């Protein structure tokens, strides 16, 4: 028991079962690490952080129901000591910035090779920030170009909760199902849905779905 | 059965997923050969099917180029008995409906199945194929 307590305790949040298995396999080759649990989506990840207080969470960004960005925000609030390393296929500035804004400590792309993942985890555990090669350059270029000129898009006016609900609407969940999942009242979901439509000037579920796709909340 | 060589194919554009999928399957089925294709290029896919005649094709739906359901139709025109298993993240009714129409053999979800379960499906398919073969041989005798 003493030994396992000294190990770095890791949670994997990833919706694809085979990937979870693969990641677990890779992580367990390191004698000092232990995968203590695996989450299917963002909400599960939050609950696991609440109960297990892991040292690190390996976080996919696009997951069903609640995605990684929403989860990171909550995780950092619940247990700031849990280091968050994003592991994703998304290499666009929008995702990278959203992840760091939410509180991520590292951002690794899924094309990471060899012992790259081990290094990324070690960096993040030692308190450094990790960014996959390529991504860092892209972001710096973005800043230098002044592209992050703060024009407020309708997307930026959405609250995190509205984005979560938008994602679930786009995934085909009904109001009641969304309410049950997020443990809020159905009327609250309806009012979020109305706000979304107003803010985005979209007036049907199918146009909300198309918008969510465009924003990468669900895959095209 | 032990010495029998199993060849399968995966059409999947997410490199990380494909690589991990192959590694996991090889853990369960060490002698398996996996043909990999990363995009929905119909001629390229057909070519690989012709050359390798895989036991099963694991077919993603959302692919650059032709999607997995279209590719399945194209493959079936030339190889009507080719076993194709859709392997996707998206459990959408329209996908299931279309898959059923085309006669896809299985509809598998990426968030539901473990490596062990997939390996078990592959083993079962290999056994089925063998039985079909011996069945035919008996008949022709």
Q: Where are the beta strands (DSSP E) in chain A?
A: 8-13, 33-39, 56-59, 83-88, 106-109, 130-131
Chain A residues bordering chain B (beta-carbon distance below 8 Å): 15-19, 21-23, 25, 40, 64, 89, 110-112, 172, 219-220
Tell me what the mean pLDDT of segment A45-64 comes to: 94
- Please tell me the pTM assigned to this model: 0.73
- Highest-confidence segment of A90-104, A132-146, B26-40: B26-40
**Contact residues on chain A for B110, CB-CB shorter than 8 A:** 15-18
Confidence class for position A150, pLDDT limits 50, 70, 90: very low
A-interface mutation test, from B27, B89, B90, B117, most A Cβ less than 10 A away: B89
Of A10-14, A43-47, A87-91, B1-5, minimum mean pLDDT range: B1-5
How would DSSP label each residue in chain B? -TTPPPEEEEE-S-HHHHHHHHHHHHHH-TT-EEEEE-SB-HHHHHHHHHHH--SEEEE-SS-SBS-HHHHHHHHHHH-TT--EEEEES---HHHHHHHHHHT-SEEEETTT--HHHHHHHHHHHHHHHHHHHHHHHHHH-
A112: closest chain B residue by CA: B16
Query: Under an 8 A CB cutoff, do B62 and A21 touch?
Result: no
CA distances from A218 to A172, A206, A214 (A): 11, 13, 8
Contacts of A16 in chain B (CB under 8 A): 17, 89, 110-111
The enclosing H or E element of B86 equals strand B84-88
Q: How far is CA A9 from CA A56, A120, A149, in A?
A: 7, 16, 40
The per-residue pLDDT for A191 is 93
Ordered alpha helix ranges (H), chain A = 2-6, 17-27, 42-52, 68-78, 93-102, 116-125, 135-144, 160-170, 175-182, 186-200, 205-214
Residue B109 forms beta bridges with which residues? B88
Q: How far does the CA of residue B122 sit from the closest CA of chain A (Å)?
A: 15
Tens digit of pLDDT for each residue in B68-103? 999 999 999 999 999 999 999 888 888 999 999 999
> Number of A:B CB contacts under 8 A?
53
- When CB atoms are compared, the residue of A21, A40, A219 closest to B115 is A21
Chosen from B16, B21, B27, B58 to mutate, greatest number of chain A CBs within 10 A: B16
Q: Place A148 in a pLDDT band, splitting at 50, 70 and 90.
A: low
Q: Which residues of B touch A18 (CB under 8 A)?
A: 17, 20-21, 24, 110, 113-115, 118
pLDDT one-digit tens code per residue, A77-129: 999 999 999 999 888 888 898 899 999 999 999 887 768 899 999 999 999 99
Residues in chain A: 220
The minimal CB distance from B111 to the residues A16, A22, A112 is found for A16
Contact assignment for B16 to A19 by CB distance below 8 Å: yes
* A25/B27 touch (CB, cutoff 8 Å), yes or no: yes
Residue among B20, B22, B95, B121 with most chain A CBs within 10 A, to mutate: B20
Q: Is A17's CB within 8 Å of B23's CB? A: no
> Is the Cβ–Cβ distance between B86 and B108 less than 8 Å?
yes
B3 confidence band (pLDDT: 50, 70, 90): low
């Amino acid at each position: 028991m003493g030994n396992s307590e000294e190990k770095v305790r890791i949670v994997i949040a990833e919706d694809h079962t085979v990937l979870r298995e693969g990641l677990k396999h890779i992580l367990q080759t390191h004698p000092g690490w232990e995968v203590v649990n695996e989450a299917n989506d963002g909400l599960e990840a939050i609950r696991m952080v609440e109960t297990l207080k892991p040292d690190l969470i390996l976080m996919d960004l696009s997951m069903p129901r609640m995605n990684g960005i929403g989860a990171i925000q909550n995780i950092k609030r619940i247990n700031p000591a849990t280091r968050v390393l994003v592991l994703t296929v998304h290499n666009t500035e929008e995702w990278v910035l959203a992840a760091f804004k939410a509180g991520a400590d590292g951002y690794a792309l899924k094309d990471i090779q060899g012992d790259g993942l081990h290094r990324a985890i070690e960096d993040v555990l030692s308190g450094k920030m990790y960014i996959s090669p390529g991504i860092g350059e892209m972001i710096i270029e973005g800043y230098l170009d002044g592209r992050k000129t703060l024009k407020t898009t309708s997307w930026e006016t959405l609250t995190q909760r509205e984005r979560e609900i938008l994602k679930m609407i786009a995934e085909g969940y009904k109001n009641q199902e969304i309410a049950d999942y997020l443990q809020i009242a159905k009327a609250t979901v309806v009012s979020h849905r109305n706000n979304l439509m107003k803010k985005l000037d979209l007036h049907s579920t199918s146009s909300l779905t198309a918008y969510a796709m465009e924003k990468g909340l669900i895959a095209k | 059965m032990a010495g029998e060589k199993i060849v399968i194919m995966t059409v999947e554009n997410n490199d990380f997923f494909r690589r991990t999928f192959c590694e996991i399957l090889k853990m369960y089925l060490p002698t398996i050969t996996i043909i990999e294709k990363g995009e929905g290029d119909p001629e390229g896919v057909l070519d690989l099917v012709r050359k390798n005649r895989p036991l099963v094709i694991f077919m993603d739906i959302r692919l650059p180029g032709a999607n997995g359901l279209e590719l399945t139709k194209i493959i079936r025109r030339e190889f009507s008995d080719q076993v194709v298993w859709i392997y996707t993240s998206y459990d959408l009714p329209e996908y299931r409906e279309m898959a059923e129409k085309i006669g896809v053999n299985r509809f598998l979800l990426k968030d539901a199945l473990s490596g062990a379960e997939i390996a078990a499906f592959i083993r079962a398919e290999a056994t089925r194929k063998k039985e079909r073969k011996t069945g035919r041989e008996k008949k022709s005798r």
